[in-house]
Amino acid sequence: MLNSWVVMPTCLPVVLRRCHTCGSERFRANGKFRVNANHKLLDAWLLVLCTSCGETAKLTVLERANVRSVRPELLDRMHDNDRSLAAELLQDPVLRRRNRVALDWDGAWRLDTGGSDHLGGEAVHVSVRLAARIPVRPVRLIAEGFGLSRAEVERLIAEGRLVSADRLSGRLSGDFTFMLKR
């Protein structure tokens, strides 16, 4: 039997960037946008707040874009301060590279295992789906899903009782499957 686990974001991740005011490196995105028009050109920013001093920083979304090249629904979502648009944009690698920021997902996601008893039976096949591009450690997910320690999961991998086509060490940000042999 195949069990399905889902890793779902619970809130927007922390943006890692140095604050020019206090030197802190953590900003919280709240889904607010600023759009500025200069004749036929648009600039748009996602606003983030420093977690220490509250200073506002801007992450560039659009820079000197022609008004006609911007989709009207995108512009409407920015004017409405759409939190789901903020989540989509924060996951865009181009936006993160352009603004020289990274994301910290600690405490911003949860694992939904479906509530079934996974340890009964001969072998357990699990498919893990990530609802967003969240970099997670598979060992940590498996430990949390089965209620084991990470050392126990590492031992199961070393013994060959926990197998996967994907690498279980390090971080993954895509879907993967594994099998626990009993």
> Distance (Å, rounded) from C-alpha 45 to C-alpha 61?
5
pLDDT of the residue at 113: 87
Kindly tell me if the per-residue pLDDT of 121 is higher than 70: no
Q: Assign 108 a pLDDT band (cuts: 50, 70, 90).
A: confident
Instruction: Compute the distance between CA of residue 90 and CA of residue 87 in angstroms, rounded to an integer.
Output: 5
Distance CA(78)–CA(86), nearest Å, equals: 9
